[in-house]
């Protein structure tokens, strides 16, 4: 039963990658990004108003940090993904997103003083090779000639933003209940994304895009984070993070069924290399200068 929580979160987030792809053409990126967080904020507010007031003495001195977290984790990350969806596939998005744990590890080494391991270095090289295979569609010559797809670049930047967000979350260790911190970041996203929404084109709510907004809001923004928090409490951060490795596989399978995306050989090769690099970085924990061994 304890594994149901991380699996539920991963399935929802994988589905949200497909939903993000489905939103392209049904609703403008700035619209769904703003509607998603606005609706989440409205639904959270009746339950979170009192906890925010009760913890205001802790919130007030950390408002700047909360703002940065909200911008990176909620506004930048997901907004870029919505823009990327119009230019790349859900399968590519899932594979690129799987780099997030490795990026977070790299950030921890740079900013938190975590020691560089053999696995981190080897995993970075292997995962980078995997992403190159994916973004080049299996042809490095075509990549050199035509460059990287803009959608893939946006997804890489989005993943990097979330990795920085995760690192800052760990570095700052704000002494706030997880739900309170999540709610405050949602409010930041609403405020930050409103100007972009205001000046962007709009189609408004339709029968086609309302289900997409509801999925992104209710499941991806509320249910999945709650399930992930429960997983961390029951399994611990390290064991819970391992489930993130399932994301590209589940995303590709859902995309194949729902969007009829073809899983090509370069997806398989790139996905295996990327995932292998992430797993290697997590398991090969030997620090430079010591005898190499795999955990």
- pLDDT digit string, tens, across residues 233-245: 787 766 677 777 7
Q: Is the confidence at residue 290, as pLDDT, over 60?
A: no
Q: What's the pLDDT at 47?
A: 92
Q: What is the mean pLDDT of residues 134-155?
A: 73
Contact 100, 166 (CB under 8 A): yes
Q: Is the confidence at residue 45, as pLDDT, over 60?
A: yes
What rounded mean pLDDT belongs to the chain? Answer: 84
- Highest mean pLDDT among 58-67, 79-88, 281-290 belongs to 58-67
Find, among 77, 84, 96, the residue nearest to 36 by Cα.
77
Give the other-Cβ count within 10 Å of 144's Cβ.
Answer: 9
Task: Kindly state the tokens that stand for 238.
Answer: 């390290």
pLDDT band at residue 174, thresholds of 50, 70 and 90?
confident
pLDDT band at residue 11, thresholds of 50, 70 and 90?
very high
Q: What's the pLDDT at 235?
A: 76
Q: What's the pLDDT at 127?
A: 77
Q: Is the confidence at residue 282, as pLDDT, over 80?
A: no
Q: Is the confidence at residue 283, as pLDDT, over 60?
A: yes
Pick the residue with more confidence: 231 or 67? 67
pTM over 0.95: no
In order, the DSSP letters of 88-150 are S-HHHHHHHHTTHHHHHHHHHHHHS-PPPBHHHHHHHHHHHHHHHHHHTTT-HHHHHHH---H
pLDDT band at residue 132, thresholds of 50, 70 and 90?
confident
Q: What's the pLDDT at 154?
A: 92
- Highest mean pLDDT among 37-41, 176-180, 233-237 belongs to 37-41
CA atoms of 151 and 185, how far apart (whole Å): 25
Q: Is the confidence at residue 25, as pLDDT, over 70?
A: yes
- pLDDT digit string, tens, across residues 98-126: 778 778 778 877 777 777 777 777 777 88
CA atoms of 229 and 238, how far apart (whole Å): 13
Pick the residue with more confidence: 267 or 207? 207
């Amino acid at each position: 039963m304890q594994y149901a929580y991380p699996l539920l979160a991963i399935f929802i987030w994988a589905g949200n990658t497909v939903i993000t792809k489905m939103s392209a053409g049904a609703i403008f990126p700035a619209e769904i990004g703003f509607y998603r967080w606005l609706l989440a904020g409205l639904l959270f507010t009746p339950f979170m108003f009192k906890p925010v007031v009760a913890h205001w003495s802790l919130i007030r001195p950390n408002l700047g940090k909360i703002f940065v977290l909200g911008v990176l984790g909620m506004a930048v990350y997901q907004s870029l993904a919505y823009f990327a969806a119009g230019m790349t596939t859900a399968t590519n998005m899932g594979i690129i997103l799987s780099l997030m744990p490795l990026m977070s590890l790299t950030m921890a080494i740079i900013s938190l003083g975590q020691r560089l391991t053999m696995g981190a270095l080897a995993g970075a090289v292997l995962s980078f090779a995997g992403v190159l295979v994916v973004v080049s569609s299996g042809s490095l010559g075509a990549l050199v000639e035509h460059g990287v797809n803009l959608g893939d670049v946006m997804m890489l930047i989005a993943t990097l933003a979330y990795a920085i967000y995760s690192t800052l979350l760990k570095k700052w260790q704000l002494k706030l209940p997880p739900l309170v911190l999540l709610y405050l970041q949602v409010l930041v996203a609403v405020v930050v994304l409103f100007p972009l929404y205001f000046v962007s084109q709009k189609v408004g709510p339709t029968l086609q895009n309302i289900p997409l907004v509801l999925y992104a809001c209710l499941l991806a923004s509320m249910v999945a984070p709650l399930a992930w928090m429960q997983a961390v409490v029951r399994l611990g951060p390290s064991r819970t993070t391992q489930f993130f490795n399932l994301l590209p596989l589940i995303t590709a399978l859902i995309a194949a069924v729902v969007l009829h995306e073809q899983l090509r050989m370069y997806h398989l090769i790139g996905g295996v290399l990327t995932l292998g690099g992430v797993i290697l970085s997590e398991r090969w924990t030997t620090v430079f200068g010591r005898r190499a061994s795999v955990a």
